[in-house]
Amino acid sequence: MTGTAWQRLRDNGPGIAGLCIVLVFALVAVCAWSGLLGQGWAQVTGGRWESAGPDHWFGTNLLGQDILARTLQGAANAIETGLIVTVFSIFLGAALGALSGWSGRGWPDELVLWIAGVLDSIPFYLFAAAVAYALQGHEWSMHVAMIVTFWTTTARIVRGEVMRIKSREFVEAARAMGLNGFTIVLRHVLPNTLHILVVQATITFVAAIKTEVILSFLGLGVKDGVSWGLMLAESSQEVLAGHFGNFLAASISLFLLLMGFNLLADALQDALDTGKVIR
Amino acid sequence: MPYLARRLLHGIALLLGVTFVSFLLMVYFGPDKTYDLVGKNPTPQQIGEVRHELGYDRPFLQRYGDYLRQLLTLDLGLSDSSGEPVSAMLERSVPVSLALVLPGFVLGNLLGLAFAMLAAWYRGSWLDKLITSASVVGMSISFLIIIIALQVLLCTPYGLNLFPVRGWKVEGLASYLYYVTVPTLALVLVTLGYNTRYYRAIVTTEAERDHVRTLRAFGASPVEIMFRHVLKNSLIPILTRVMFSVPLVFVSGSLLLESYFGIPGIGQVTFNAITSDDQPVLKAVVGLTGVLFALALSVNDLLYTKVDPRLTER
Amino acid sequence: MLKKLQGAALLALLMLGGCGQSPDPGGKVPVKIYRHALDGAPASLDPAQAASIYANFIVVNLYDTLYRYKYLARPYRLQPNLAAAMPQISDDGLTVTIRLKKGVHFVDDPAFARGKGREVTAGDFVYSIERQFDPRTRAQGAWLWQHRIVGLDEWKTRGSHYDEEVPGLRALDEHTVQIRLTRPFPQLAHTLAQGFSALVPREAVEKYGLQLASHPVGSGPFKLLQRDGSRAVLVRNPDYRKEPFDLATEGYDPATQGHLGLEALQGRFPPFVDRLEIEFITEDAARWNSFAAGELHFIKVPVSQFDNVLSQRNPLKLSAQYEGLYHFAASEEAGLIYTNFNMADKRIGYSSDPVRNRRNHALRCAMVKAFDWRRRNEIFFYDIGRVFPGIIPPAVPEYDPAEDRGYTRRDLARARALLRDNHWTADNLPTLDYGFPNSVTERQIFEQFRNFMSQIGYPPEKIRPMIFATYGDYQRAYSQGKVTLINSSWTMDYPDAENIMQLYYGPNAAPGSNSASYDNPEYNRLFERAASMSESPERTRIYRRMNRLLMHDCATISGISRTLLFLWDKHVIMKPDRSFLGGYFLRFVDIDDSAEDEP
C-alpha cells in the first residue's frame, strides 16, 4: 500500500476501531490456542443455567458449562475458520482468476468459468452435507466445503481486473519487451489487484464466519468443539424459557467481530479505492 | 449469430457439469434412504431388497442417463419419502416460496439502492456516515439471530404478539400479509446491509466520475444525474448482483425462513429431502437451481455484451 | 413449466382477489376444528410404511385396523375395532379366527368402480398383510409377522403373487379371517392394532402405487383433505360406521378422569369434530410459541418449558397462571432410553481372547458405574423421568420395584477400582465412537456423557463424537457396526414386555433391533422359552432373570422412561396420548365451546 493509502486508513476513525476489535479477537484466539484462555469449555463446572456471577462471569448453560469459556473458545474457532478459509480461497481464487483473465476467452478461461459456474449452481448446504459425508465427518469438511465454493467470487473479480489491465499500455510494453505471460501476470498484473484482494479477503473472512455459524446450526459445521453457531443453536431453544446467556454471549461476540471486520473492510476499500495503477 | 450459439453451448456445458457433479455427490456421498425404509428387525436380504427398490444398485452411468432424461422431459418421479409426484410437490411449493421471498427480495434491493444513492449523493456527510454505519451493522448480524429475535419480539406474548409464530394459511390478501410480514422483515433486515453497501460502492464509483461531477457543478438536478447518468452506467453490476442472488435467495435463503416459520415452500421441501435422504426430490431441486443459475449466467453475459461491446473483442 | 406459471398466476389471483375459502362452504353451522401439534412429521401415509409414531398416529385415523386400544383404560387393553370381537384361538394356539364387522365401507375414490367406496372384506385384510411381504411395497412392518404365519415367507420367496393363496392367511368368507401360525403368538392381536396392519383396498394400490403414500383410501373415521410438509388436514368421514361411545367399555375411571368432562360424550357417535388440523412442528420453541399464542389446542410440552409450566414436581402441579386455562396430564411413556455398547466391537465387547474379554467386561461395568443417572434425569428429563435398573421399565407389569438399584446408582470409587484392577489406564483405554443424529439436545447429551466418563479418568479425546445428518444415516452406521456407543430410545409397539426383551435377543443382532449385538446363549434360551407365553407369573420370573443376566454382563447403560407433559385447552374434551397405542384418541375428541371461530 502506498503512503497515501496508509494515511487515509489512519484517518478513518471507524476503520481503526474495526482494526482494534479484530486485533482483540485475534489476541483472544491466540490465547485460546496456546492454552491460556477458555480451556474449560467442555467441563461441567456449575449448575444448570446459573446466572452471571463471580464463578461464571457469563453464567452457565444447560449442562453447567461455563459460557464465558465457551465464548472465548468459540472466538478462537471463528478466527481459525476465517483464516483458513480466507487464505486458501483467496489464493485459489486469485490464481485461477488470473489464469482465466490472462487467457481471456481461451480454453483455460472457459474451463475455469465452467468450473466456477458448476460450483456456484449447486445449493451450498447440499454441497456441504455431501462433503461432510465424503470426508467421513472430518473436522475439515466444513472448511473444504467453504473453500471450494468461496474461491469463485474472488476468481471472477480478479479475472475482470486482469482482463482490464491486460489491455493497458504497460502490459503491451512488457509483452513487446519479450516477457512471458507468467512473469507479466505475476510481477505486473497481480500486484495491481492486491487492493481488491485485500478487501475481498476481509469480505471472505466475514462470509466464512457467518457460514460457519449457520453450518454449525444445521449440524454440518464444527464437530467436536464449541462455536458460536453451536451456542446459537442451543440458545434457540433456551431463549423462550427465559435463559439468554448463550444467546447474548454468542450474538454479541459474533456481532462485534463481524462489525470489526466490516468496518475494516470499508476503511480499506475507501483507502485503496482511488489508488491508481502501480507500476 | 455465432456468439449466441457459443453462449448456448456454454449453457449446456454448464448444465451438464452441474448435473454430473451434483448427481455424483448424491449417489456416492449423499442421501441413502435404505435404513429409513427397512423395518425394525431387517435381515440383510430385506436391506438388499429395499436398495433394489430404491434403484441404488443400478450402474452409475445408467442412473445418470436416467436423470438427464428425467430433467429433459420433466418426468421427475416420485418422492422416496411421501410417494407424492415430485413435480406436484414443486408445483405446490415453488409458488409459495416465490410469494414468500419476492416482497423481501424486491424491498431489500430497492431500499438498498435508494439508500445507496442517497449516500453517494451526499458522500462524506453525516447522512452518508449514518447509512454506511447502519449497513455495516446490518451486515454484522447473522440471519439466525434476526430470525430468533424477530420471532420473539413480534410473534410471542413476550413481545408484541401481532403476527403468527408460523404457518401459511393464505386465502386472500389479508391473510397473505399476516403470514408474510415477519419473514419479509427478516429478509429485508438481513439483506439490506449488504445491498446498501454493495450498491453504494458501485454508485459512488459512478458518481465520482468526471462527467458526473461536472454536471453536478453545473447545477443539474440530483434526480436527473442519479437516474440518467449514474444509474444507467451502474446497471450492469446492479443487474449482475440481482441475477446472481436470485437462485441463492430462493433456495438457500428460503431454507432457513421456511423451516423456522413452517412455510411449505421449496426451501422446506429441500430441507426435508436432505434430512430424509430423499433422492428424487433432491435431484429435481438441484436440476432446477442449475437451470436457474445457468440462465442467470447466460443472461448476464448477454447483458454485458449489449452494454459494453468492448468485452466481445478477443 | 406452464403448470407452474398457472400455479403462480393462481396464487397471485388469490392474493389480489382475496377470494377466501371458508372451511364450511355454504353452511351456517359452526365447524368444529381441533388443532393438534405433533413434534415431528410423517413421511408416508401408506399403512405399510407407517413406521414412525407420527405416521402411525395419522394412519390409524384414516384407515381401520382390526383392533385398537381402549380409549381410557390404563394399562392399555385391546378393543375390537373393525373386528367384531376378540380373536378366537384354537386350543393349540395355532389357529386364529377373526370375524369382521359387516357394512363397513371405504371412502369414495376414483379407484373404485363408479367412484363409490365398496364394502371392506376379509380379503382386504389378507391383501394388506400380504403387501408387507412384497418388496415393491417398500413396507416396513413385515418384521411383526416374519416367520409367524404359515406359508407367508414362502409366498414372498416365490415372487409375491397376489393371486396365489397363502395357506396360513385365508379369508374364509367375506367377513371371516383365519390365520394359521407356525407357533403360538400371544402378541398377535397387538400386532393387529398397529397402523401396519390397517386394511388397504387393492384397487387403490393398483391405481396409485407408491403415491398411495400421499393419497390415502381408507375406511377410518376421517378422510385426508390436504397435506404438506408442515401440516395435515383431516375431515370427518360421513360414511364412518355409527358406533355409540360407551364410557364403561372404554375403561372410564371417574376417580382419575372425572375432571375431563368425558361424561358428555356418552351415547354419541364419534368422530365428534368435523375437522382436524395437525401441525408438524419439530422445533420446540416454535411449537411452544404457537401453543402459547392460542394457535393450537394441544401440546406435548417441550422440556425447556417445564420450569415455566410446573409449579412443583412431586406431586406434579401446574403453575397458577396456566391452572385456569388448560387441562394438564403427565403421561409416563411406554418405552425407555438407554445407551448400548456395541458388543460386536472387540475394543469394548466380546473378544476371542479371554483376558481381554474379562477386561472389557470390567471396563463396561466401570462405565455403567460412572454414569450419573440423577444428573441425566435432572438436566434432560427435568427430574421427572423414572430411572430403573436394566431394561424392564415401570410401564410393564414385569417391572420389579424391589429390584436392586445398584445398576443405576453412581459409584465412582468402585468404577475407578474396576479400571485399576484390570490394568486400564488413560493411555491404554480404547477410543470409542459415540454416535448420534445431529441435534442440539443429542450433542448436549453426548457432552454430558463424556463429562461423566472423564470423572473416572477416561480421557475426553478418547470418546469421539460421530455425528450423522439424519436418523437413517445413524441407523445405518450402527447397523453396520461402526458405532461403539449407541444412544437409543425405544417406544413400545405394543404393551407387552416381549417387545422390549427382544431388543437383546441374539438372532436380532445388527442390522436387527438388537443394536448392541448382545448374544448370551442363556438369555436367548430363556427368550425362546417365554416366546409362546402370555403375561403370567412364570413369564415375569423369566423376564426378570433375563434382565439380571443383561445387567451382569453390563451390555447396556439402562434405563430411564420419560414422563411426558401434555397441556390442552380447557374447552377440549379428551384424554390425549402420544404413543403407538394411543393414536386412536382423535376420533373421541370433542370441543365444548362450539362458538369456535377461525382466527
Rounded to two decimals, the ipTM of the complex is 0.84
Q: How many domains does chain A have?
A: 1
Interface contact flag, B83 C212, Cβ < 8 Å: yes
Gap between the Cα atoms of B312 and B225, Å rounded: 29
* One-letter amino acid for residue B71 of the chain: L
C335 in Cβ contact with C489 (< 8 Å): yes
Question: C468 to chain B: nearest residue by CA?
Answer: B275
Of B66-80, B185-199, C38-52, C393-407, minimum mean pLDDT range: B66-80
Looking at the partner chain, which of C10, C211, C508 has a beta carbon nearest the beta carbon of B84? C211
What CATH code is carried by the domain that includes residue A83? 1.10.3720.10
pLDDT value of residue A54: 84
C468 in Cβ contact with C435 (< 8 Å): yes
Q: How many helices (H) and strands (E) does chain B have?
A: 14, 0
Please report, in tens digits, the pLDDT of each residue of chain B (314 residues total). 577 777 778 778 877 888 788 778 777 666 677 777 777 777 788 888 888 877 777 887 888 888 888 777 878 888 887 778 888 888 888 888 889 989 999 999 999 988 988 888 888 889 988 888 888 888 888 888 898 888 878 877 777 878 887 778 888 888 899 999 999 999 999 889 888 888 887 888 777 788 778 887 887 777 777 777 777 777 777 877 787 777 666 666 677 888 778 888 888 888 778 777 788 888 888 777 777 776 776 676 666 666 555 444 33
Write out residues 200-229 of A within 8 Å (CB-CB) of B.
206, 210, 213-214, 217, 229
Interface test with C, best of B38, B51, B86, B257 (most C CBs within 10 A): B38
Has residue A240 got a pLDDT over 80? no
Interface contact flag, C11 B96, Cβ < 8 Å: yes
> How long is chain B?
314
Three-state secondary structure along C213-225?
HHCCCCCCCEEEE
pLDDT value of residue C594: 52
Give per-residue pLDDT as tens, C159-192. Answer: 899 999 999 999 999 999 999 999 999 999 999 9
Which residues have CB under 8 Å from A188's CB, separation 6+? Answer: A170, A171, A174
pLDDT value of residue C17: 34
Has residue C420 got a pLDDT over 90? yes
In a domain, A53, yes or no: no
In a domain, A278, yes or no: no
Range of the domain at A10: 2-31+67-272
Interface test with B, best of C33, C56, C138, C224 (most B CBs within 10 A): C138
Gap between the Cα atoms of A43 and B225, Å rounded: 62
Neighbours of C386 (CB within 10 A): 18
pLDDT value of residue A274: 43
pLDDT value of residue C34: 95
Has residue A272 got a pLDDT over 80? no
pLDDT value of residue B303: 67
Write out residues 125-154 of A within 8 Å (CB-CB) of B.
125-127, 129-131, 133-134
C586 in Cβ contact with C32 (< 8 Å): no
pLDDT value of residue B58: 80
Question: C378 to chain A: nearest residue by CA?
Answer: A48
CA distance from start to end of chain C: 35
Has residue C598 got a pLDDT over 70? no
In a domain, A42, yes or no: no
Has residue A220 got a pLDDT over 80? no
Is B107 in the A-facing interface, judged by CB distances under 8 Å? no
Which residues have CB under 8 Å from A34's CB, separation 6+? Answer: none
In a domain, A79, yes or no: yes
pLDDT value of residue B253: 66
Nearest chain B Cα distance for residue C458, angstroms = 32
Give per-residue pLDDT as tens, C503-529. Answer: 999 998 888 889 999 999 999 999 999
How many angstroms from the chain centroid is the CA of residue C113?
A: 36
Has residue C109 got a pLDDT over 90? yes
Place of cell 394359521: C180
Q: Burial code of C581-597, b = ≥16 C-beta within 10 A, e = fewer?
A: bbbbbbbbbbbeeeebe
Write out residues 252-311 of B within 8 Å (CB-CB) of A.
252, 255-256, 270, 274, 282, 285-286, 289-290, 293-294, 297, 311
Enumerate chain C positions whose Cβ falls within 8 A of a Cβ in A: 283-285, 288-289, 302, 304-305, 307-308, 378-379, 438-441, 443-444, 447-448, 450-451, 454, 460, 464-467, 469
Interface contact flag, B35 C49, Cβ < 8 Å: no
Give per-residue pLDDT as tens, C464-507. Answer: 998 887 787 888 889 888 999 999 999 898 889 999 999 999 99
Residues of chain C above pLDDT 90, percent: 67
Neighbours of C193 (CB within 10 A): 28
Instruction: Please give the C-alpha separations between residue C296 and each of A90, C30, C318, in angstroms, as whole numbers.
Output: 50, 18, 19
pLDDT value of residue B29: 66
Of A124-138, B88-102, C385-399, minimum mean pLDDT range: A124-138
- Say whether pTM exceeds 0.90: no
In a domain, A51, yes or no: no
pLDDT value of residue A146: 92
Interface contact flag, A233 C440, Cβ < 8 Å: yes
In a domain, A56, yes or no: no
Is A247 in the C-facing interface, judged by CB distances under 8 Å? no
Pairing of strands C176-180, C222-227: unpaired
pLDDT band at A2 (very low <50, low <70, confident <90, very high): low
Of B180-184, C162-166, C280-284, C360-364, minimum mean pLDDT range: C280-284
Has residue A278 got a pLDDT over 50? no
Gap between the Cα atoms of B250 and B272, Å rounded: 16
Instruction: Please give the C-alpha separations between residue C559 and each of A245, C399, C487, in angstroms, as whole numbers.
Output: 31, 12, 11
Q: What is the average pLDDT value for chain A, to the nearest integer?
A: 82
Which residues have CB under 8 Å from C154's CB, separation 6+? Answer: none
Give per-residue pLDDT as tens, C423-436. Answer: 999 999 999 999 99
Q: Enter the C-alpha cell of residue C477.
A: 452406521
| Strand, coil or helix: C326 | strand
Pick the more confident residue, A15 or C519: C519
In a domain, A107, yes or no: yes
Nearest chain C Cα distance for residue A112, angstroms = 31
pLDDT band at C19 (very low <50, low <70, confident <90, very high): very low
In a domain, A228, yes or no: yes
